[in-house]
Amino acid sequence: MSKLDTAPYKGVRDFYPEDQFIQNYVFGVWKKAAESFGYSEFNASILESSEIYKEKSGEEIINEQTYTFIDRGEREVTLRPEMTPTIARMIAARKRELGFPLRWYSIPNIFRYEAPQRGRLREHWQLNIDVFGVDSLEADIEVIEVANKIMQDFGASEKDFVIKLNDYSAEKRLDEAKKMLGGRNINNVEIDLNLTRGQAYYTGMVFEVFDSNPENKRSLFGGGRYDNLTEMFGGEKISAVGFGAGDVTIRDFLRTHGLLPEYKNSATLALLPLEKKYFEAAEKIANELRRRKVNTFVDWSDRKIGDKIKNADKQKILFIAAIGEDEIKSNKFKLKNLKTGEEKEVALDKIPECVK
């Protein structure tokens, strides 16, 4: 039997615990920023009819960049290469039931068949921020304000990135937009009349956020106004503006600027039974600690205590406590901080406050 390759499919990623920790951190910042402006989360299937992309996303995306196939019902379907047509479809389907202006956000996974490179893979996750039902400049300014808050919440300073603006329609005075942003204390803004976005559906102002660091001087994410997209579903025009921010470029930005958080295991404490006969007692202690909101890991292996300590350290568990005859009888435990090396004896009921 031949051995199977352990590498993932080209252009996608495996998320080991350390990677998933970063992903959860990124998603958490995104969600918190979006909800602070009153945006509600939505989602949809990764499968869409190919027609909605043929209509508005642009020929290049459909012909060269999508995972498109015929299903068993002879329907042409596509793994979504972006979320904007999907949200437009959903809004058009229930526009009479929804209250406007509407603020929605989502963090879907996106698929595009293209050459993998720095900042660009075949699958990624993308924050989408959208406002429907407002055609005034205030909506454009708000989504840029959300984008700016996200960067600040990641720990970026104003000098770390620049926001570039253009306007496809030339109806709104870009200078006014820059002035309004300045009034909201967003001053790292530039007008760039050469700025373009790849999608064909943009109708007005567009913007992009660029990294200022020479080591990663590239576009991080962007968006703009797309007032006509709901019309392709046979309904009336609904004004819309929004942006998408991908997790790959954000990770590169955080890494470049030294802003990635340090990985921490979900377990705060590892209990290390000295022998198999102490397993049952260790589990009872662990359950009591879990009841007290301490995430507790029990090492059931038959390895020596030194190896168990090394394993806990390798897995980035901060605190350990050995479980043996003395600990069970006294109900006191030698709690050790693996990062600082500090060790102290504490009673069971004092462990929660010691490991916070």
Residues 6+ away with beta carbon under 8 Å from 165? 174, 177, 178, 189, 190, 191, 192, 195, 205, 206, 207
Q: Name residue 242's amino acid.
A: G
**Does the N-terminal peptide bond of residue 101 adopt cis geometry, omega within 30 degrees of 0?**
yes
The answer to the question of residue 21 being in a domain is yes
- 101 pLDDT above the threshold of 90: yes
The C-alpha atoms of residue 251 and residue 211 are separated, in whole angstroms, by 12
- Residues 303, 342, single domain; the answer is yes
* Averaged pLDDT for residues 13-31: 97
Amino acid 172: pLDDT? 54
Residue 147 reports pLDDT greater than 80: yes
Which of 56-70, 115-129, 311-325 is the least confident region? 56-70
Q: For the domain that residue 162 is a member of, what is the CATH number?
A: 3.30.930.10
Range of the domain at 219: 17-256
Range in 31-40, 54-63, 251-260 with the lowest mean pLDDT: 54-63
What does pTM read for this prediction? 0.91
Residue 217 and residue 276 in one domain: no
Q: How many whole angstroms separate alpha carbon 203 and alpha carbon 197?
A: 11
Same domain, 275 and 248: no
pLDDT tens, position by position, 310-321:
999 999 999 999
Mean pLDDT of 39-62: 83
Q: Tell me, what's the pLDDT at 170? A: 62
Q: Per-residue pLDDT averaged across 181-190, rounded?
A: 94
For the stretch 261-285, pLDDT in tens is: 999 999 999 999 999 999 999 999 9
Phi, psi at residue 12, to the nearest 5°? -120, 170
Answer yes or no: do 279 and 178 share one domain. no
342 domain-assigned = yes
Q: Taking residues 190-214, what's their average pLDDT?
A: 86
Q: In this structure, is residue 137 part of a structural domain?
A: yes
The overall average pLDDT reported for the chain is 92
Mean pLDDT of 13-33: 97
Please report, rounded to a whole number, the percentage of residues in the chain having pLDDT higher than 70: 96
- Report DSSP letters for 60-116, one per residue: HHHHHS-EEEE-TTS-EEEE-S-SHHHHHHHHHHTTTTS-SSEEEEE--EEE--S--
Residue 354 has pLDDT above 60, yes or no: yes
Task: Give tens-digit pLDDT for 224-246.
Answer: 998 887 787 777 788 999 999 99
Residue 59 pLDDT level (bands cut at 50, 70, 90):
low
- Provide the number of structural domains found in the chain: 2
Instruction: Tell me, yes or no, whether 209 and 60 share the same domain.
Output: yes
As a whole-number percent, the residues of the chain with pLDDT over 90 amount to 78
The residue from 226, 256, 286 where one domain ends is 256
18 pLDDT above the threshold of 80: yes
pLDDT of 53 strictly over 90? no
Question: Across residues 207-222, what is the average pLDDT?
Answer: 94
